[in-house]
Amino acid sequence: MRSIRNKLLASYLAVVLTVLAIFWLTQVVFIERTYTRFMVGRLKNYGEEIINILGVPEPDPSKLSAAIEESGAEVTAVTKDNRVIFTTATMMGMMMRNVIPYSGNTPKTFRYTHPHFGTEYMAMSLPFTYNGIQANMILSIPVTQISQNVDLFKREFTYIAIASIIIATLISLILSNGITRPIIKLKKAAKEIAEGNAGIKIKPETRDEIGDLASTMDEMSMRLSEIEKLRQNLIANISHDLKTPLGVIKGYAEMIRDTDIDREKSYKYLAIISKEADRMSNMINDILALSQIQAGVTKPRMAVFNMKELISDVLDTFEGEIYERNLEVEFSIDDLNVYADRELIRRVLVNIIGNAISSMEDSGLLSITSEIQDKEALFKISDTGRGIKEKDLEHIFDRYYKASEGGTGLGLAIVKEILTLHRSKYDINSTEGKGTTFTFTLPRS
């Protein structure tokens, strides 16, 4: 019973069997009573028809015979003093005066037993006037006739119930298979994805929740495939990016060791080694930072600090690059305090401002402004650099995704995770060839 198909099949059959059982029991219990009522009504109708035929001055014998025959009953007419006017059964008519009581002016239904044969009858007695004499028209049928018909109905109901169970079982099998087939397909697809085959296509077979799940899994499979490709590219890029500074470090270290160089050149080579080591350290720090944030290891240490001072401090670290690239800086920040993790927000600023500066080759405008919005402060960092391609913009926050040849594709992924930790509203707008604007909010203090 572990499979969904068997559970669905059992559920369908349980409902069908319950309904059929109620229906069958109802018929078995009430069919005899219902059929008896029907026969009583039938006898009454034929009795009234026979009375109407006899009520005319000259009754038509053929109509009378036809009505009696159609009724299927033994018909006897008796007077108030139990004198038989006529009967369709001679023997019954002769004994009727001792067996059937006179019912007066009220229609009555009763049962009686034949005094000699022991046959039980059900009778309908109707009052009427015959040649000015008060009489009763009595129509009788054997109770066995009712019992036989009731038994026949019961057998038919039983056959119908059995046939319904068989049909319901087949329909339940078809329905349960139809529901579980796409689920089994999704299970196989999930197993393949778990085994590393992330690029499989899952075609939805239905337009219901299962179809929605298939579409979601298909999208997840594609995303996992993309992430895997990005991860592989990251490994290749990091390997290349680490190999380059390592080669530089090794080369300059060997020059210092193996050649007789003056102090000035030694300092120069050591500065290059230090710079390349810093580049490697930053790369590794980015990977560790993203992993720790996503694993929940990094918890924001919330405190009040001055945002203007922090941005000024970050700009100071880029002063050399700003000067080399001949950039103009527009710095218009309100002197306001925010409530956030200072070091994490510093990393956000370093990433965003660093990207803005890197996008402008020679001359350009770096604009940093703020805007007070009720309990929040909106910060806007804009540049007039090369911008971001439209196809890259929707993936710009994805980890490992690189919109340009430089970097590891982790910077903005880290920015996204940090701002999400702070419940910040952030956005990026860019036009290729014109520049990029990044906005984010922080709570004011």
Give residue 300's identity as a one-letter amino acid code: P
CATH number of 303-443: 3.30.70.250, 3.30.565.10, 3.20.20.80, 3.40.50.720? 3.30.565.10
Please tell me the predicted confidence (pLDDT) of residue 240. Answer: 61
Tens of pLDDT, residues 209-253: 777 777 777 777 777 777 777 667 667 666 766 676 787 788 878
List the domain boundaries for the chain: 4-148, 209-294, 303-443
How high is the pLDDT of residue 409? 58
Q: How many other CB atoms sit within 10 Å of the CB of residue 416?
A: 21
**H or E segment to which residue 200 belongs:** none
* Residue 120 φ then ψ, to 5°: -90, 135
Exposed/middle/buried for residue 287 (C-beta within 10 Å: 0-12, 13-18, 19+):
middle
Distances (CA, A) of 119 to 69, 85, 114: 21, 23, 5
Q: Are 357 and 365 in contact (CB under 8 A)?
A: no
Structure tokens at 184: 């089994």
Q: What is the pLDDT of residue 294?
A: 66
Those residues of the chain that have pLDDT short of 70 are 1-3, 5, 28, 89-103, 114-118, 196, 198-200, 202-206, 208, 230-231, 233-234, 236-238, 240-242, 244, 290, 294-295, 297, 398-410
Task: At 164, give phi and psi (nearest 5°).
Answer: -65, -40
The Cα 106–Cα 309 span in angstroms is 110
Q: Which fold has domain 209-294?
A: Helix Hairpins (1.10.287)
> How confident is the model at residue 1, as a pLDDT?
45
Question: What is the predicted pLDDT for the residue at 74?
Answer: 83
Q: What's the pLDDT score for residue 341?
A: 93
CATH number of 4-148: 3.30.450
Which pLDDT score is estimated for 93? 47
